[in-house]
Amino acid sequence: MNRSLETSDRIRVFVVGSSEMIRAATATLEETALSVVGTVPSRSEFDPGSIDAVDCLLTDDRDVLSAVGNAVPAVYAVDPMDLDGPVLDRHLDNGMTEVLTVESGTVPSLLEHRIRTAIELDAGRTPEERDTNRTPGERDTNRDPEERDTNRGSDDRRTLPRGLLAHSSDTLLVVDDSFRIAAAVPSEEWNGPAETEELVGRRFVDMVHPEDRASVSRTLESLREGDPGSTATIEYRFQHDDGWWVHAATLTNRLDDESISGIVASIRDATAYHHVVRELDKSFDRVTDAFYALDSEWKFTYVNDRAIGDIDLDRDELLGRDILAVFPGLEGSPFESAAIEAVDTQEPKTVEAYFEPYDAWIDARIYPSPSGISVYWRDVTDRIERERKLDQRTERLEVLIENVPVALFVLDSDGTFTFAEGRAFEHLGVDTDDIVGESAFSALEDYPAVRADFRAALDGQTIHAQRRVADRMLEAWCRPISTDGDVDRVIGIAVDITDRTQYQETLSALHDATSHLLSVESKQAACEYVVDVAFDVLGLEGVIVYRFDEQHNELIPAAHSPGLEEITGVPPRLRPHDDSITWETFVSRSPAVFDDVRTSETVYNEATNVRSGLYVPFGEHGVLVAVSTAVGQFDQDTVDLAQLFATTAEATFDRIGRTQRLHDREHELERQNEHLERLNETNRIRQDIEQHLLMADSREEIERGICTRLADLEACSMAWIGTPDPSGNRLEVRESAGRDRGYLSSITVTTVDDSAAEPAGRAARTGESTYVQNVADSIHDGSWRAQALSENYQSVFAVPLVYDGFLYGVLSLYGDDPDAFDELFRSTLVDLSETIAYTIDAVKRKTALIGDEVTEIKLAIEDDSALVELSNYLDARVSLEGMTPRDDGTVAFVSVTDAVDGETVPAAVNEIGDVVDASVLGVDGEETLLQLELSTPFLGSVVTDHGGMVREFVCENREAWAVIHVPSAVDVREVISTLNRRGVGASMIARREQSRDDLVALDASSRNALLDRLTDRQREVVQTAYHSGFFEWPRRTTGEDIAISLDISSPAFHKHVRSTEKKLFEALFDEGLPPEGG
């Protein structure tokens, strides 16, 4: 994009330099009648031969002046600080023709004046002067100074340096230290006091405008007090003959210069410039677009405020910089191409394109000149977006007209179609291209009512009417457009309302038909009437009504239209396990529409001739089905009408059902008789089960016999017993009987208290019986229901088998009929459930007692156990010595390796939540015996329930372990699972098998026979005394202390001990022990 611009027959200037002043002057030249024909930044890039056709050289480089000499007029750009005599003389000797200051370099008129003056001065030189680098009238610089002074003349310039006088086009004033004018050299433009005498001797500030005197005085005082050579620039208003002018002055302190001895003021007239600036500011303020100017090197020379705001950069960041350096995204863009073309052709260009870096559409107007371009631009994104939206709306409107059943038309004053569009014309079989230009009266001659409407509209009437044209019903609006009272055209729109009219007619007929449906007395009659209405009123050809048979859990074809069998064949009965859209619709209670039923995964017959299908459920009663051999026959209106009719049918079936229930009450006496029969049957079942429990020798025999007997009942299809797995979260099948049909293997029974859970799992969790009277009542409440219905199970009863707080399993029964198990049967089974659980427990204990082998298990106990917390609290070893179970908890006897005082025990009770009470039974050296009353289940009670005993329980160093013995017949996993379910966290460390003969003197049966002779109180008292060391010698504790710990009197304690001793001795000496294993 960087290229020089061609020039015409004007003064040609070549610029050498890179200072800010040179760049500003170059930009200013573009606003003058001069032409910049070339620029280079430094002497090293300057070729003296390139200025052969140049009128003037502008530079800030002294070396360039030396290289050029007097070959071309040269204007030297100099800082005002360098404006002293010796420096100027040196520049003149180097070939300078004219001086350019910063201020004059930025004013177009002054800059042009400087260059023209330089050319004129150079033209007035003699050849000798050019050879010696002298200006016209200037003598040799090597001549005697006095001789040079005599040649200066006697005018006012004799008091100033030669350079200032000869090479300044500004008015020069010298102000002494009292601010009076000591010397004056007016310029050609000067319009102040004409004679020097009128200026010399007057106070400078007296001629300044009163409003500006203070600032001028401050500036002069600051210079007078400042360093020699210091400068200041100021603008002020000065009194001239024709009014106040604006002066722009550069003030230099020359008070220490003997040839001047004052402050030199270089004054230029800025009045016109200020006027132009004000006018330009007003003009630019009126420009609402962003504007910037570029020079011939595509560098910014001007940027207005609007552009600064849009670009979001400071002006200093733009001026003097290449536009591509600031906006690299412009390279290769339409904006760059248009700018280059404008420069090449010197013709304005307009371009509108998307500028990605700003995510905006830009409209740019480019005005070229020989020295650069001016660009006006604005963000037109909003307009482009509005146009885009307008195009979209127009496109949508066109699509709407083409696709919506609407006809748009315009008639001229003679009734001729001048415009016709819309899909409604297609419905009428009319080609819009053919009808345009044709008279509406001839085109619609078969429809007098329509022609009358058009004639009335042409007469000035606004028309709104519904008319039938061909086989379509149209609703039309016609509006006359008048000019000066005469109708010159009619615009109209007609909407095809054929479908809406037919829908309303069908809806009205459907309303009449449903009023009769509400009076039907039977469900079969209702089904037949539903088919008739769907066929005659809704126009559905293949119609069938499926009614749900609750007794058999199936959908039966209750009625169908005459031609249905030709389409589908004989309608089948539909059951839960049959894949069919009809059953799926019935279960989901949601209507379904298929353009082609073969796309459904549950189509009943993949080879069917049916294509379109409409399936509408009517509640829990059945499904209305309409089919067709054609694809896509059921539109939304048909679906809506069918749903509306199905709602009425559902209400009819509900009414019939309520009526039927009223009739059912008449048979109450018969049902009571049936109840008596059921009572007898239930008693027989109870006796049979109780007899079986008495005769069974194993748990497997008990469970198998119960399931078999219950499954043999007419009401029961299947019975099974499940027990919790080790985690306690799921039931596992132990025994089942009857018609399973794969139900148990297809479901997972989780033990949760949730209405959606399988009844067996819910009973296991709640500990209460659960009865589902009709599985189909809440088909969506749990996934098991759908599976149960698919196996034809319609009622379920589950009862937990619990004894002594322990769940031995859940007994579940399934019936093929709703409410298969009456209240009497259910209550009887609940009563038997505890007996069944007790028998299982008894058989289990018996099996455990008669075994010769035991399993020794070492368990790790979690640290939330009461004994672990006690050990941690006392920071001592705690060992279990024994325990006594109670109804409300457990009494444990523990030994502590350290002595425990009486105050520590109550504190331990407060700190350990599971300890209700604690007392010290005795202290033997460093060992203390404690009695603890625990509120939560304890390890020993669980082990005892499984026929085992705790051999050791030790807590030390925040760890606890126990050694227990259980019969070999007992499942170790069941013991650990029971411990975890009862809140005792335990895990197995080791196990081994042992013989009972190696462990105790008495076998378990003999031991239990002895303990059974004691009352619970006697057993508690004696066990407490035993673990307290009462029977040792010497005694570790007294009877009084033990009585206090048991909260009984001392005599009562001794009475219980004597009674216990007597019973044990009688058993030993009078009756003897039963034989081992007996």
Residue with structure tokens 């411990």?
Answer: 979
Helices 904-911, 866-874: axis angle to 10 degrees equals: 130
What is the SS3 string spanning 36-86? Answer: EEEEECCHHHCCHHHHCCCCEEEECCHHHHHHHCCCCCEEEECCHHHCCHH
Predicted confidence (pLDDT) at residue 138 exceeds the cutoff of 80? no
What does the pLDDT average to over 918-937?
77
The pLDDT of 329-348, averaged and rounded, is 91
Look at residue 164 in the predicted model and tell me its pLDDT.
47
Question: Greater confidence, 278 or 184?
Answer: 184
Find where tokens 């939206």 sit.
389
Looking at domain 287-384, its CATH superfamily turns out to be PAS domain (3.30.450.20)
Cross-strand partners of 332: none
CATH of domain 170-272: 3.30.450.20
Residue type, 77: A
C-beta of residue 830 within 8 angstroms of C-beta of residue 767: no
- Which position has the higher pLDDT, 794 or 665? 794
- The dihedral over CA atoms of 888, 892, 898, 904, expressed in degrees to the nearest 10, equals 10
Q: What is the predicted pLDDT for the residue at 286?
A: 60
Best-predicted range by mean pLDDT among 132-136, 1038-1042, 1074-1078?
A: 1038-1042
Per-residue model confidence (pLDDT) at position 991: 84
pLDDT for 1030 equals 82
What was the pLDDT predicted at 191? 58
| pLDDT (0 to 100) of residue 873 | 81
Beta bridge pairs of residue 300: 294, 319
Q: Which pLDDT does position 124 carry in this prediction? A: 64
Domain 501-664 has CATH 3.40.50.80: no
Residue 168 pLDDT class (50, 70, 90 cuts): low
Q: How many residues does the chain have?
A: 1078
pLDDT at 351: 93
Region of poorest pLDDT, from 73-87, 633-647, 930-944: 73-87
For residues 703 and 152, which has the higher predicted lDDT (pLDDT)?
Answer: 703
CA quadruple 961, 966, 972, 978: dihedral positive or negative?
negative
Measured distance CA(626)–CA(561) in Å, rounded: 10
Q: Specify the pLDDT at position 850.
A: 61
Q: Per CATH, which fold does 1000-1078 belong to?
A: Arc Repressor Mutant, subunit A (1.10.10)
Strand order in the sheet with 463-469: 417-421, 406-412, 486-496, 472-483, 463-469
Statement: residue 123 has pLDDT above 80? no
CA diameter of the chain? 172
Q: Quick check: 159 pLDDT over 60?
A: no
Q: Which residue has the higher pLDDT, 499 or 582?
A: 582
Please tell me the distance from the alpha carbon of residue 182 to that of residue 261, in angstroms, as a whole number: 9
pLDDT of residue 197: 63
Q: Are 594 and 637 in contact (CB under 8 A)?
A: no
Written as six digits, the tokens of 913 are: 């939540």
Q: How confident is the model at residue 412 (pLDDT cuts 50, 70, 90)?
A: very high
Pairwise pLDDT comparison (337 vs 679), residue with the higher score: 337
CATH topology of domain 696-848: Beta-Lactamase (3.30.450)
Q: Check residue 128 and give its pLDDT.
A: 60
Would the pLDDT of 382 be above 80?
yes
377 confidence band (pLDDT: 50, 70, 90): confident
Does this chain's domain 170-272 share its CATH topology with 696-848? yes
pLDDT at 615 over 90: yes
548 band by pLDDT with thresholds 50, 70 and 90: very high
pLDDT for the residue 923: 75
Superfamily in which the 1-151 domain is placed by CATH:
Response regulator (3.40.50.2300)
Interval 53-61 mean pLDDT = 86
Residue 774 has pLDDT above 60, yes or no: yes
pLDDT band at 613 (very low <50, low <70, confident <90, very high): very high
960's enclosing H/E stretch is strand 959-967
pTM: 0.34
Return the minimum-mean-pLDDT range out of 169-173, 354-358, 586-590.
Answer: 169-173
8 A C-beta contact, residue 878 and residue 896: yes
pLDDT-wise least confident of 251-255, 288-292, 708-712, 836-840? 288-292
Whether 96 shows a pLDDT value over 80: the answer reads no
CATH class of 404-491: alpha beta
Mean pLDDT of 113-140: 60
Q: Give the pLDDT band (50/70/90) at residue 638.
A: confident
Q: Quote the mean pLDDT of the chain.
A: 81
Domain boundaries, the chain: 1-151, 170-272, 287-384, 404-491, 501-664, 696-848, 850-998, 1000-1078
| Average pLDDT estimate for 437-453 | 90
- What are residue 960's DSSP bridge partners? 861, 955
List the one residue out of 775, 774, 558 whose CA is nearest residue 649: 558
Q: Which helix (H) or strand (E) covers residue 389, if one does?
A: helix 381-403
Average pLDDT over residues 782-792: 89
What confidence category does residue 721 fall into, taking pLDDT thresholds of 50, 70 and 90? Answer: very high
Helix (H, G, I), strand (E, B) or coil at 445: coil
CA atoms in the 13 A half-sphere facing the CB of 51: 24
Calpha distance 674→1006 (Å, rounded): 53
Average pLDDT over residues 356-376: 89
